[in-house]
Amino acid sequence: MSLVELIAQADERGLAASGLACLDRCVPLLGGDDETLRPVWASLGDDADAGEWGERLEQARCKLDAAGAGDEAVTLAHRMLEAAPAERSAAELRVWADACSVASLQIHRLLDTAQDEASSVDSRREGRTDGMSPLVAAELRRQVVVLEVLAGHGPAGLRRALEVSTEGRRVLRAVVSRRSRQQG
C-alpha cells in the first residue's frame, strides 16, 4: 500500500502520530532536543485527556519558537509545527498529516547530498521509488512504518512509532551537523 493510501485509511490516532512523527524527525532544524515533543507523544495514549494534545502542542511550540528562520528546510519544519491542529479531529489531522508527510520528504530531499531523480516527492508517496535518494528513501520507509504499526497495533504501536521517529531524528541531526560543518 502506498503512503497516500495509508494516510487515507488512518484513524485519528494514526494521523496524529504520523504528522507528529514527521515533525519529530525534523526537530533538529527547529533547535529542539530529543525530549521536546515527548509530552505531545504522551497525549496520544489511551489514558490521556482529550485536551492534552492542544496544551502540550502549544508548550512545544513555545520551546521551538526560539529557532530562527533559515533556509527552505527550516521554513518547511516551522510550517509543520505551526499547522498542527489544536484539536484532534480526524479531518484536520488528515490534512496536517498529509502536509507533514510532503514537507518531511521535501526536507530530506533538500538535505540529501545524493540527487533524487523524481520531479517531486508526490510520486514517492504514491509508490514510485526508482532513483530515490537514500535519505528520502529512509524517510519514506519511516513514514510507512509509523502508519502500519499504528494501524496494526493501535495505541500499543505508539512506542514503536516513537522509536522509528527517534531513529530518524538522529539521522537528520547528523545530516544537519555535517551540513553546518561544511558550510562553516
Q: Determine the residue type at 155.
A: P
For the entire predicted model, the pTM comes to: 0.93
Q: What is the pLDDT of residue 68?
A: 55
**Which pLDDT tens digit goes with each residue over 109-145?**
999 888 877 778 888 888 887 888 899 999 999 999 9
Mean pLDDT over residues 72-89, rounded? 94
112 closest CA partner among 138, 151, 149: 138
Q: What is the pLDDT of residues 2-21, one digit of tens each?
A: 999 999 999 999 999 999 99
Supply the DSSP string of 103-171, one letter for each residue: HHHHHHHHH-SSPP-SSSSHHHHTT--TT--HHHHHHHHHHHHHHHHHHHHGGGGHHHHHHHHHHHHHH
Share of the chain above pLDDT 90, in %: 71
Mean pLDDT over 165-175 rounds to 95
**In terms of Cα–Cα distance, which of 174, 102, 114 is closest to 139?**
102
Mean pLDDT, rounded, of the chain: 91
Instruction: Return d(Cα 104, Cα 19) in angstroms, integer.
Output: 9
Least confidently predicted of 44-53, 118-127, 167-176 = 118-127
